[in-house]
Amino acid sequence: MPDLRIFSRRAFFQTLAAMPALAACARPNIVLILSDDVGYGDLSCYGARRVATPNLDRLARGGVRFTSAYSPSATCTPTRYALLTGEYAWRREGTGVLPDDTPLIIEPGRETLPALLKRAGHVTACVSKWHPGLGAGNLDWNGEIRPGSLEVGFDYCFLIPATGDRVPCVYVENHRVVGLDPADPIRVSFRGPDGDEPAGRDRPDLLKLRPSTATTRPSSMASAASAT
């Protein structure tokens, strides 16, 4: 068994690729929790004293607790891109923290972590904040939202498109907004006050400070909130 302290992402992907040969063996369930901006001292199972994380501590006791690990980035989009593709985000342009209207940055059909797991016989699901982009440009939130997580290897998804403070504040299940009322369509604009630059591209807080420049219709937001 390899030394888990130095088990690289490349070795991890190679191991997953070899898993179909082990089809006769029982396949364990895999729950992978990705959390933004969590440091070594933020969990009590790693010695934190000012916070208590009993549920995560229980997971650590029942699984593998790594004592030497590295993250490809300290922020959301590049971490997700690297985890899903096995490629350092800095090797590819456009993988920084994405603006709100960015298309999917992972090419459908490329090798990904969920695609490898599917080949090994697993059924995969993504339930989370997403933030590697959605659609192919000029996304219509009232129709089918694709390409997205299903097109990069997941069988099912229930997600928020980006961060919780960015419009549209909706949940997406597979290819559709949850609770969408066709009689009250979602209209989103990311145009800035000058009409040229998308609001929030460099200052995400503008989406909150200037709601008239990047808004979702209030009734649509209420519909999404009632679906939680």
What are the pLDDT digits (tens) for 65-97? Answer: 888 877 888 888 999 999 999 999 999 999 999
- With beta carbons less than 8 A apart as the criterion, state whether 66 and 8 touch: no
pLDDT at 192 over 70: no
pLDDT of 64: 81
Upper half-sphere CA count for residue 177 (Cβ side, 13 Å): 26
Q: Which residue has the higher pLDDT, 29 or 145?
A: 145
pLDDT at 200 over 90: no
Residues with a known catalytic role: 76, 131
Average pLDDT (189-217) is 46
pLDDT of 215: 40
Average pLDDT (132-159) is 94
pLDDT, tens digit (0-9, with 9 covering 90-100), for 14-41: 555 555 554 445 778 888 888 877 877 8
Q: Which residue has the higher pLDDT, 138 or 172?
A: 172
Q: Which residues contact 6 (CB under 8 A, 6 or more apart)?
A: 68
pLDDT, tens digit (0-9, with 9 covering 90-100), for 35-75: 877 877 899 999 999 989 999 999 889 888 888 877 888 88
Residue 186 CA to residue 183 CA, distance in Å, equals 10
Per-domain residue ranges of the chain: 6-14+39-70, 98-228
Produce one character per residue of 198-221: b if its CB has 16 or more CB atoms within 10 Å, e if not: bbbeeebebbeeeeebbbbeeebb
pLDDT, tens digit (0-9, with 9 covering 90-100), for 101-124: 789 999 998 999 999 999 999 999
pLDDT of 220: 37
Residue 33 CA to residue 166 CA, distance in Å, equals 22
pLDDT of 68: 83
Give the global pTM: 0.71
pLDDT, tens digit (0-9, with 9 covering 90-100), for 205-226: 433 333 333 444 433 333 333 3
